[in-house]
Structure 1
Amino acid sequence: MPKSLRRLATLLSLFVAGGALAASQPVDPLRLTREVEPVAQSVELTLDPAKDDFSGRVIIDLLANQPFTSFRLNAEGPTFSTATLTSADGEVTTLQAEVTNAKFAIVTLTAPKSLGIGNYKLVIDFTAKYPRDGLGLYKTVSRDEPYLFTQFEDKHARKAFPCWDEPEFKINWQLTLKIPATLEAVTNAAVAYESRDGDWKTIVFGRTPPMPSYIVALAVGPFEYVPVPGWTVPGRIITPKGQSALAAEAVRLTPRIMARLEEYFGIPYPYAKYDQIAVPEYVYGAMENAGLVTFTDRLLLMDPEKPSFSQRRSLASVIAHEGAHMWFGDLVTMKWWDDLWLNESFADWMAGRIIGHEFPEFRIQVAESRGIKGAMRSDALPSITAIRRPVTAESDLAQLVDELTYNKGKGVLNMVENWIGPAQFRAAMRTYFLKHRWGNTVSDDLWAAFSATSGDDITGLLAAFINKPGVPLVTLALDPDGKLRLSQRRFHNLGDPQLEGQWQIPVVLAWGKGGEVHRERILLKDLEQVVAIPGLADADWIYPNAGESGYFRWNLSPELNARLARRSAALAPIERVGLLDNTSALFNAGLINGTDYLAYVTAFGGDLDPDVNTSVIASVGGLRNTFITPPSRPAYNSYRTAILRPILDRIGLQPVAGEPVYHGPLRNALYGALGYEAADPVVIAECRRLAALFLENPRQVDAALRTTALSVAAYHGDAAFFATIQAAFEKAPSPIVRSATLDALGSFHDPVLAGQALAFSLTPAVNSTEFLGVLFDISGDPDLRELAVDWTIAHYDAIAAKAPAEYVAGLIGVAGGAEPELFNRLRDFLLAPERKTEFAQINITKSAERLAVRQRLREKEQANVVKFLETYQGKTPRD
């Protein structure tokens, strides 16, 4: 939840000169106002990555909408040297700059007398230091080369230069950079012209269309460029020095994705170029800066000869996500951050549609559905909040973003498209963009477009899903007269309180009879509703969520559930994956017992679809933290091997020519499930063989298996192998090797070696955005969880000094799978007044709720689960 709003009455007098506030004044006193507002901004910076500070000048065209004496803008870090205001008739006024709220980076500029309505030019000279935390205009060092990059969302542009740092202020920007002549620089726009003066060069970039400050971007360093041909605008993949050979897959994917986006929106790509740049130290995965999208390097760059299926699918999805933002977010921008969920949800939804159409081999719909189901798991927690949350200028937006921001919203958009139809959904989107391009909107503008196009009350349908927390549970049963009875309530896990909730739920029912599949659409508005569907009473099976298009859980009566269990093979793969996930949810809710749950999981062990196999692996692995104790480990590992090893035998230990591309991630998941604690000797031997080949030459190993093979070998490795992995990390020639060896360092099962890995993670060799991966990897090993918690407590100050704040706020995850005593130890430490933050509290509450469910489920079902495992004879019900 957002922080409480502070009423800073002393600031109100600073908005205008001695008069009442304008009618448009926002409620939030920390927001900027439009009495004096920017029209365009030029930024001139002198930048040298080898140094620790820089200087600059901003020239901002202003419009005063009423007489004024003072006005406010944002600046955090820049120290002002001078600030002058020139009127349209040439009168120059020196302004007094005062930091009126340092915490929220508000600077008030005051003139010695009242000034009138009209146009002005504001010039501010300043100096600043480069931060090293990955935010603002920051410095990083990669392979001994210093670089400068930017990350401005949500309120970090103010750290680089003074500006109106809110999304509502969309203006034209022009950047001019003076840099060492041996380096390269890129921004949102193309180079207009360049000049040289000795060891320095000055690059003037073109003027941008209207943009908010948070998508302004620049980078300076010894870059390499790889052109991206085959599309309507110039584009490049930009890499750090020596990395351009790893850009081929991004070059291949980008034109197809962007062309498809352009076609969908029906509006040409709105910017002059489309560069994508690999960043070696990056807080987030990627960022939709207009015309200069930033990516963490391990995502954008990969082996050009053998990229894995999962790497290619992830890259394609992120390119499509960030590309969709060029329209949804950049061309049309949310008015304020409380609609960030829609910005991100839509881009994710759009990415799924584009990748599903353009690259069907990626089977992206199943992956997207899994993400939405993950949001449902969080949405079931009692403490969860709505996806549309009030955001103030005090809110730390980065720490309010969670899996619901992306995946619940995506699920909601899925429902809307499925309900009104793809053609009407697309028509509404085009209407929306044509009406609002280059402007700002609120979510109601989009819902109005959907309603106007479809004739349905989309705002009413979405209200409970967006403005209230929770996921519905739809229960279905046949009445004696053959009619279908549907009821709804808010879903909750075992022992959690029953909270209120009522939705308008678009239910698309699939049912089969005599080999024919039928569909029925039902809008469930009431708490209970009865519908008559001819022929349904005699259906062979009924599936309540056809195509997994609805955002709800469901429960069938015992008789209907028995029909579905017998005929589940008739479902599409995405529905079989959904069935397994829903069954798991019902188990967590206490609505089915452990014996029936494991019978379902075991039955699907014989399924031939790789996505269903992957869900079985996850279901079997999910038993570990809740039910398995040292006495039951042998039975559990025996069951796990009996269920999963036949899948590996069927697809083979190593890839073969012509096999389906999606066998790669399945094989990788099986290596992990069978190679760590289960200790399958054949898998361990193969992982050791592949690890040796990888360390000799990574390209000798299938890309899908590299990281897991190295990590399994490390899990069973000794001190000599640890030294080898550490040396390989320190000398990593590429993000591929760096990422794989870092994961391996966090995989050693030997407590002494795990401790060495933790100590190494705090050294400068491991950067601020990757080092906590070692800690979380180690905490995932149940036998090392106490070590990880103790280390976190002992080294908290060093962790907090090195990691981004949002990473620190998630440290409770180190004890996420722990027993209550260990969890409570870390919880109490993190909630001490000197460490407690709002977002840490939110994460701790969620984790505590998940732990409580596990404990209650263990108490209710452990005997059933252990008995099933101990008596399992290697046969599935399908056998």
Structure 2
Amino acid sequence: MNFRPTLLALLFAASAAQLEAQRLPTNVHPEHYKLEIAPYLDKAVFEGLETIDVTLDQPSATVTLNCLEIDVRKVTAGGQTGTVSYNPALEQATFTFPQPLPAGKSSIQVVYSGILNDKLRGFYLSKTKARNYAVTQFESTDARRAFPSFDEPAMKATFDVSLTIDAADTAISNGPIIADSPAGPGKHTLTFGTTPKMSTYLVAFLVGDFACEKGKSDGIPIRVCTTPDKVKLTKFAVKSAEFTLHYYDQYFGIKYPMAKLDLIGIPDFEAGAMENFGAITYRETDLLVDEKTGAVNSKKEVSSVIAHEMAHQWFGDMVTMQWWDNLWLNEGFATWMQDKAAAAWHPEWKFPQDVASSVQGTLNLDAIKTTHPILAKDTQTPAQIAELFDGITYGKGGAVLGMVENFLGPEVFRQGVHNYLQAHMFGNATAEDFWTAQTANSHQPVDKIMQSFIVQPGVPLLTFGDVQASGYPVTQSRFYLAPESVADKSTGGWTVPVCVKSATGPVCKILTPADSSLSLLGSSAPTYLFANAAGKGYYRVSYSPAQLQAIIAGVNTLTPPEKLDLLGDRWALTRAGQAKVGEYLDLALALKQDADASVVQNALSYIATINARIANADDTAQLNEKMRKELGPVYASLGKPSKKDAYDKDEIRNALFAVLGRAKDPAVLAEASKLTDDLFSGDPARMKSAKESPLADTAIYVAAAQGDEALYNKLQTVSQKATDDPGLQTQALFTLADFQNPLLVVRTLDYAVSGQVRNQDSWILIARELQQPETREVAWQYVQQHWEKVSAQFTTASGARIVTAVGSFCTVAQRKEVADFFATHKVEAAERTLTQSIDSIDACIQLRAKQEPNLRQWLSTHQ
């Protein structure tokens, strides 16, 4: 899945025994579910008839399973009628029968009803202006809202699903439709093929008037489906899915296991996407893009998300983690795999740079005190499970896999993946199962490497000294972003595969906690090294002054991912107080004319952070003047945009345009204003010309920051009326948060909580207003004063994202306000998130105190 789910506030106070009790008893094993469901979209309810074939280890008069927001009307088994008792706090129901059910096989029949909720979880309503749809989102613990179930990943079973729906509607589920029969006046019943053995959270059923574009790959029929008005935007996704399915068939050496593959865009959807077996669901902006006119970055996002969810069909659906503590096995692998597949399809889109860039964010997240291990041992409740869907599970999981693949070599790693999947097909597995397969196949200490990175939290910092006869002196320690953090004494060190790029070529070595030097070529070791060849290592590096000087002098010999790693290391060390901010600025400006867009974008993005988190008002004015002086000529040298320009040139131009816009460069502001005026002029010729400019999107953002009410009104109108283009509609909506006029900030927040914005999007407007220094104070006061309205918009995960957003604050007073406010205004599944946000505020306070004098000194000598 591309992000998500939660529980009731009272569970935060539950005892350890209660938390443990949220796991189901292990004496009953589901084998097969037959689900007959009839949703009534106009009434927002559904009725269900369910038969669960189970095996009992020993005779029992009770069967406990998961059940929430469901009314069980009748339950029978073995000719007996049972009674039902509910435990909402544990999200369980217990069926009790007059006589014990015998050991062995039994069938339990359940008649029940439920609600089609508006919380984007379980079986819920998704709405357009034209009609309602009934759709599902079950990961992680919400299948229990649609049918009583053994809703734990290891309790796999097969499923037969049938849906009785309006005659004019269709339905989609995991299997193909095998029967369509009349079901009374105005109704018909669609019956779907039996699924393989799978976990409950992967079941899906969707009802509505979906329209689909068809394709095929390796003999498997593929459909991309959406609401009828958007089907014209599905062609790109079909081609992406066709390529990706064939690529994965070849990569895994195991054919896609389902009879068909559907990808469905849903108007209201919490996550980016969800990997239901054979019926993947998506937020519309992550699936739908115009094949001919869509921006390259939009196509990259769609192809990457499609590849992520399709990777799950093998890694997560076919072989599933034993329990949620190993969620990283699913999400880390899919995160690593997504850009590998997308890059094979479109290598010109430079996905390796995207990977290298995203790893930098993960390393920073993992370098705060309140990070957590990838393997989350103490995970019992739905709220605890929900908190695992974060940047560590996805990003660190994927980055560590990428590091191990780089060390072993792609083919050795691929064979280990195949062996793991083959051994556990349609079953469950653990992290140990995965790294044992890799160790056995490679004959390398993958188990020791993975153990050290999976079980313990944090980021290793490798500090290299100047070359000696025995090699390079090196020490490893845990790296923290906050200057005042103290090393965690419980961290035992890492077994690190270090791949070094030196003057004599790349070499990979294992560095253990006991090693005090890295030996490359003995006494003839080169005088300098770059200690993260290919930028794949999950560690930070600190070099001696002489080594750093040599690396920067030869920076153009580094690949783009290596340059991104160097930039990330230097910025992280700056944040940690181990380097001066001026040194980072020198490096960033040295790369201002780099030929790779990702390098330029990353170098400049950290400058924006310096403005936001270090500089005072006077410093900002001086830094902006410096940026105009340094970057204005670079931007001018690129010339006017042309259709013949390469992707990198367009992206570099956009990056410079955005920075110069923030720095209030008069020429850029004028250009942004003209482009924006043309886009909204109503004159077809002017609008067409402006839309074709690669600067159009950035121009709107730059203009909005300076924008007035008239421009705001135009964007709001687009956000409301462009319903046939989800990308344009969403872009216009989110740009409302870029206006800095306090009256427009309040207007945006009022709009976000008005009920006119889908709750999948409302939190994004609020979070953006909280994160921007120019709008933060107004937004924070608004959130506190209108908490009832703000919190009413929260879905299963978005409340925690608002708590994350306040982590961008940077004063002692704001820290106290955040701690005090959320102490009395609890947010579901956000306990750890709040601690992380407060730590982030502390880190910013320390960063500003440490680096503001250094910034002022640099500015005084760089006029």
Residue equivalent to 1:659: 645
Amino acid at match of 2:502: W
Specify whether residues 848 and 653 from structure 1 end up closer, same or farther in structure 2 by C-alpha distance, changes over 3 A only: farther
Residue equivalent to 1:21: none
Query: Matched residues, percent identical?
Result: 28
SS in 1 for 2:89: coil
Q: Once the 2 structures are TM-superposed, how far is the Cα of residue 96 of structure 1 from its aligned partner?
A: 0.8
Q: TM-score, normalised by structure 1?
A: 0.92
Residue equivalent to 2:434: 446
Q: Once the 2 structures are TM-superposed, how far is the Cα of residue 694 of structure 1 from its aligned partner?
A: 5.8
Amino acid at match of 1:714: A
Q: Is 1:755 paired with 2:743?
A: no
Residue equivalent to 2:479: 491
SS in 2 for 1:831: helix
Residue equivalent to 1:434: 422
Given that residues 135 and 206 in structure 2 are in contact (C-alpha distance below 8 angstroms), is that contact kept between their aligned partners in structure 1? yes
Q: Is 1:791 paired with 2:782?
A: yes
Specify whether residues 441 and 540 from structure 1 end up closer, same or farther in structure 2 by C-alpha distance, changes over 3 A only: same
SS in 2 for 1:637: helix
Amino acid at match of 1:709: A
Specify whether residues 596 and 134 from structure 1 end up closer, same or farther in structure 2 by C-alpha distance, changes over 3 A only: same
Residue equivalent to 1:689: 675
Query: Which stretch shifts more, 857-866 or 75-84?
Result: 857-866
Query: Which stretch shifts more, 763-772 or 352-361?
Result: 352-361
Residue equivalent to 1:235: 222
Q: Is 1:743 paired with 2:734?
A: yes
Residue equivalent to 1:865: 855
Q: TM-score, normalised by structure 2?
A: 0.94
Query: Which stretch shifts more, 633-642 or 522-531?
Result: 522-531
Given that residues 306 and 702 in structure 1 are in contact (C-alpha distance below 8 angstroms), is that contact kept between their aligned partners in structure 2? no
Given that residues 63 and 96 in structure 2 are in contact (C-alpha distance below 8 angstroms), is that contact kept between their aligned partners in structure 1? yes
Q: For residues 572 and 252 of structure 1, what CA distance do their matches in structure 2 show?
A: 31
Q: For residues 635 and 179 of structure 1, what CA distance do their matches in structure 2 show?
A: 65
Specify whether residues 421 and 165 from structure 1 end up closer, same or farther in structure 2 by C-alpha distance, changes over 3 A only: same
Amino acid at match of 1:770: D
Residue equivalent to 1:252: 239
Structure 2 counterparts to residues 388-537 of structure 1, below 5 A: 388-396=375-383, 397-481=385-469, 483-493=471-481, 494-500=483-489, 501=491, 502-512=493-503, 517-534=504-521
Q: 1:770 aligns with which of 757, 761, 769?
A: 761
Alignment size in residue pairs = 844
Given that residues 691 and 710 in structure 1 are in contact (C-alpha distance below 8 angstroms), is that contact kept between their aligned partners in structure 2? no
Structure 2 counterparts to residues 550-561 of structure 1, below 5 A: 550-561=537-548
Given that residues 812 and 845 in structure 2 are in contact (C-alpha distance below 8 angstroms), is that contact kept between their aligned partners in structure 1? no
Q: For residues 298 and 115 of structure 2, what CA distance do their matches in structure 1 show?
A: 36
Residue equivalent to 1:877: none
Q: Once the 2 structures are TM-superposed, how far is the Cα of residue 859 of structure 1 from its aligned partner?
A: 2.1
Q: 1:48 aligns with which of 40, 51, 71?
A: 40
Residue equivalent to 2:15: 6
SS in 2 for 1:815: helix
Q: Is 1:800 paired with 2:826?
A: no
Specify whether residues 567 and 843 from structure 1 end up closer, same or farther in structure 2 by C-alpha distance, changes over 3 A only: same
SS in 1 for 2:139: coil
Q: Once the 2 structures are TM-superposed, how far is the Cα of residue 778 of structure 1 from its aligned partner?
A: 2.3
Q: For residues 326 and 239 of structure 1, what CA distance do their matches in structure 2 show?
A: 21
Structure 2 counterparts to residues 124-273 of structure 1, below 5 A: 124-196=110-182, 197-273=184-260
Structure 2 counterparts to residues 799-818 of structure 1, below 5 A: 799-818=790-809
Q: For residues 676 and 712 of structure 2, what CA distance do their matches in structure 1 show?
A: 16
Provide the aligned C-alpha RMSD in A.
2.3
Q: For residues 415 and 213 of structure 2, what CA distance do their matches in structure 1 show?
A: 36
SS in 1 for 2:521: coil
SS in 2 for 1:783: coil
Specify whether residues 186 and 639 from structure 1 end up closer, same or farther in structure 2 by C-alpha distance, changes over 3 A only: same
Amino acid at match of 1:63: T
Query: Which stretch shifts more, 799-808 or 148-157?
Result: 799-808
Given that residues 789 and 822 in structure 1 are in contact (C-alpha distance below 8 angstroms), is that contact kept between their aligned partners in structure 2? no
- CA offset digits 1:311-336 (Å, max 9, x no partner): 11111111111111000000111111
Structure 2 counterparts to residues 92-111 of structure 1, below 5 A: 92-99=79-86, 101-111=87-97
Residue equivalent to 1:720: 710
Structure 2 counterparts to residues 836-851 of structure 1, below 5 A: 836-837=826-827, 839-851=829-841
Q: Is 1:639 paired with 2:648?
A: no
Q: For residues 527 and 69 of structure 1, what CA distance do their matches in structure 2 show?
A: 57
Q: 2:772 aligns with which of 773, 776, 781?
A: 781
Given that residues 335 and 440 in structure 1 are in contact (C-alpha distance below 8 angstroms), is that contact kept between their aligned partners in structure 2? yes
Amino acid at match of 1:497: V
Q: For residues 633 and 531 of structure 1, what CA distance do their matches in structure 2 show?
A: 42
Segments of structure 1 that go 5 or more residues without pairing to the other structure are 10-26, 87-91, 874-879
Specify whether residues 164 and 441 from structure 1 end up closer, same or farther in structure 2 by C-alpha distance, changes over 3 A only: same
Amino acid at match of 1:460: K
Residue equivalent to 2:271: 284
Given that residues 126 and 266 in structure 2 are in contact (C-alpha distance below 8 angstroms), is that contact kept between their aligned partners in structure 1? no
Specify whether residues 678 and 848 from structure 1 end up closer, same or farther in structure 2 by C-alpha distance, changes over 3 A only: farther
Amino acid at match of 2:488: L
Given that residues 812 and 826 in structure 1 are in contact (C-alpha distance below 8 angstroms), is that contact kept between their aligned partners in structure 2? no
Q: For residues 443 and 808 of structure 1, what CA distance do their matches in structure 2 show?
A: 30
Specify whether residues 695 and 157 from structure 1 end up closer, same or farther in structure 2 by C-alpha distance, changes over 3 A only: farther
Specify whether residues 860 and 715 from structure 1 end up closer, same or farther in structure 2 by C-alpha distance, changes over 3 A only: closer
Q: Once the 2 structures are TM-superposed, how far is the Cα of residue 821 of structure 1 from its aligned partner?
A: 4.5
Q: For residues 702 and 455 of structure 2, what CA distance do their matches in structure 1 show?
A: 44
Q: Once the 2 structures are TM-superposed, how far is the Cα of residue 780 of structure 1 from its aligned partner?
A: 3.6
Given that residues 32 and 158 in structure 2 are in contact (C-alpha distance below 8 angstroms), is that contact kept between their aligned partners in structure 1? yes
Structure 2 counterparts to residues 503-652 of structure 1, below 5 A: 503-512=494-503, 517-534=504-521, 539=526, 541-652=528-639
Specify whether residues 716 and 547 from structure 1 end up closer, same or farther in structure 2 by C-alpha distance, changes over 3 A only: same
Specify whether residues 531 and 785 from structure 1 end up closer, same or farther in structure 2 by C-alpha distance, changes over 3 A only: closer
Specify whether residues 421 and 4 from structure 1 end up closer, same or farther in structure 2 by C-alpha distance, changes over 3 A only: farther
- CA offset digits 1:255-288 (Å, max 9, x no partner): 1111101100001101011110111111110010
- CA offset digits 1:615-656 (Å, max 9, x no partner): 1211211111222222222211112223333443344453x2
Residue equivalent to 2:262: 275
Q: For residues 232 and 645 of structure 1, what CA distance do their matches in structure 2 show?
A: 54
Residue equivalent to 2:3: none
Q: Once the 2 structures are TM-superposed, how far is the Cα of residue 292 of structure 1 from its aligned partner?
A: 0.7
Q: Is 1:70 paired with 2:62?
A: yes
Specify whether residues 551 and 769 from structure 1 end up closer, same or farther in structure 2 by C-alpha distance, changes over 3 A only: same
Q: For residues 153 and 495 of structure 1, what CA distance do their matches in structure 2 show?
A: 38
